[in-house]
Amino acid sequence: MQTGGPGFVFLYMTSRVTIVGPGLLGGSLALALKARTGAHVTVWARRAESVAQVEARGCADAATSDLTEAVRKADTVVLCTPVGTMPALCQQMNTTLPSGALVVDVGSVKAPVVNDLTPLFTAPTQFVGCHPMAGSEQTGLAAARVDLFEGAVCIVTPQISTPPTAVTNAEAFWQSVGCTTRRLDPQVHDEVVAWISHFPHLLAAALVQTVAEQLPAAFDFCGPGFRDTTRVAGGPPDMWTEILAENRAAVRTAIDGLIEKLRGLSTLLADAPSAERDSLMNQLLSQAKAQRDRLRLPKTPSDV
C-alpha cells in the first residue's frame, strides 16, 4: 500500500519536522521519525516541564517552548495538540513559518479543523487535515511508542481546492512512519469515525455508567469480554469531550441508529414466540459474526 516512491522517502530523510505538542501521538511520532527517517525533529511544548521530559526521553533533536522559534526552519509541522488550541497556535507560528511548509494535524475530527485552519495559511504554505488511526486509552509522552504508527491507517482529508502536491507530501510523510494512507472528504471522514470510533467510545462509557448505576456488584465479576468491550472508556475525558462536541451531529446519528436497533431487540426478546425469536436472534448474531470476521483489523494493542 506504499504509494510514496524513493523520492518521497528521500524528502523525509532530509526534512525538518516540528511536532507541536509532545503527548502520546506527538511523542510517538518523534520516536518513529528518529528511528525510521533522517529527519531533524523539533518538539514544541507549552510547559517547560514538558520540554524537559522530551529532552530526557531523547526523542527529538531540539525541544523548546517558543513556538516561533520551533517552526522557524521547519518544512513540515505536525499539530498534535487538542483541536481547540490549533487555530491560535497556527496564527502564532505564521510569523516565522517558512513559506511553502506543509502543516498537518492528528485531530480525530476533520471538517471543523480543515475549515478553520486552511484559510490561516497562504500558498504555497498549505494545511492538509490528517487523522492517523493510532492511539491508546493511555496518554502522554510516557506512553509514547516508536511503533505506534506501524500498520495504522492514516486518513488524509484534503478539500477539493487542496494542491495535489501537498496531499501526496502529507501521504508520504505518514507513510514514512509506517502508516498506510487513505483519502476521504473531511465530512465523510467525520461520519465514518463517528460510527467506528467516536460513538463506540461514548457507548463504552455509557455501558460502564449504566452498570455502575443499576448493578455495581456486577463489576466484581468482569471477565475479558467486558474488559475489551469497555477498554476505550479508559481514554482521556477532556480529549473525548472535545471530539464528541465537535462531531456531535454524526455521533447523534449513530446513537439514534443503535437505539432503534436495541429497541427492536428488546421487543424481540419480550414478545415474539420462542422459535421465531431464536431464529431472528440467531440471524442477527450470525450476520454480525460474519461481518466482523470479514473485517481487516489491526493486530497491535493500540487504540483509535
CB of 36 to a copy of itself, least distance (A): 20
Nearer to a copy of itself by Cβ, of 42 and 200: the residue is 200
The three three-digit cell numbers of residue 184, written as one number: 476521504
Nearer to a copy of itself, 168 or 229 (CB): 229
In the complex, least distance from residue 129 CB atom to a copy of itself, rounded to whole angstroms: 15
Query: What's the distance, Cα to Cα, between the start and end of the chain in Å?
Result: 20
CB of 294 to a copy of itself, least distance (A): 8
3 binds a copy of itself, rule: CB under 8 A: no
Q: How many C-beta neighbours within 10 Å does residue 163 have?
A: 13
> Which of residues 122 and 274 has its CB atom nearest to a copy of itself in the complex?
274
Decide: is 142 part of the binding site for a copy of itself (CB under 8 A): no
Cell 511536532, located at residue:
19
Q: Which of 91, 98, 222, 276 touches a copy of itself (CB under 8 A)?
A: 222
Is 281 a binding residue for a copy of itself by CB under 8 A? The answer is: yes
Q: Centre a 10 Å sphere on the Cβ of residue 253 and count the other Cβ atoms it contains.
A: 14
Q: Which of 49, 256 has the CB closer to a copy of itself?
A: 256
Residue pair 146/35 in contact (Cβ under 8 Å)? The answer is yes
Label residue 295 left, alpha or beta by phi (over 0 means left) and psi (-120 to 50 means alpha). Answer: beta
Q: Torsion angle of alpha carbons 289, 149, 183, 12, nearest 10°?
A: -160
Q: Find, among 238, 113, 251, the residue nearest to 193 by Cα.
A: 251
Among 57, 72, 73, 231, binds a copy of itself (CB under 8 A): 231
Restricting to residues 239-278, name those near a copy of itself by CB under 8 A: 240-242, 244-245, 248, 251-263, 265-266, 269-270, 274, 277-278
**Is residue 282 a contact residue for a copy of itself (CB under 8 A)?**
yes
Sign of CA dihedral 241, 245, 248, 250: negative
**Binding-site member from 61, 82, 187, 195 for a copy of itself (CB under 8 A):** 195
Q: Is 9 in the site for a copy of itself (CB under 8 A)?
A: no
Binding mask 153-182 for a copy of itself (x = CB under 8 A): x-x--------------------------x
| Using rule CB under 8 A, residue 297 touches a copy of itself | yes
Q: Identity (one letter) of the amino acid at 38?
A: G
Question: Nearest 5°: phi and psi at 254?
Answer: -70, -45
Total residues binding a copy of itself (CB under 8 A): 97
Distance (Å, whole) CA 199 – CA 128: 25
Comparing CB distances to a copy of itself, the nearer of 123 and 290 is 290
Residue number, 75 or 303, with CB nearest to a copy of itself = 303
Q: What is the DSSP letter of 272?
A: S
Residue for cell digits 487535515?
A: 129
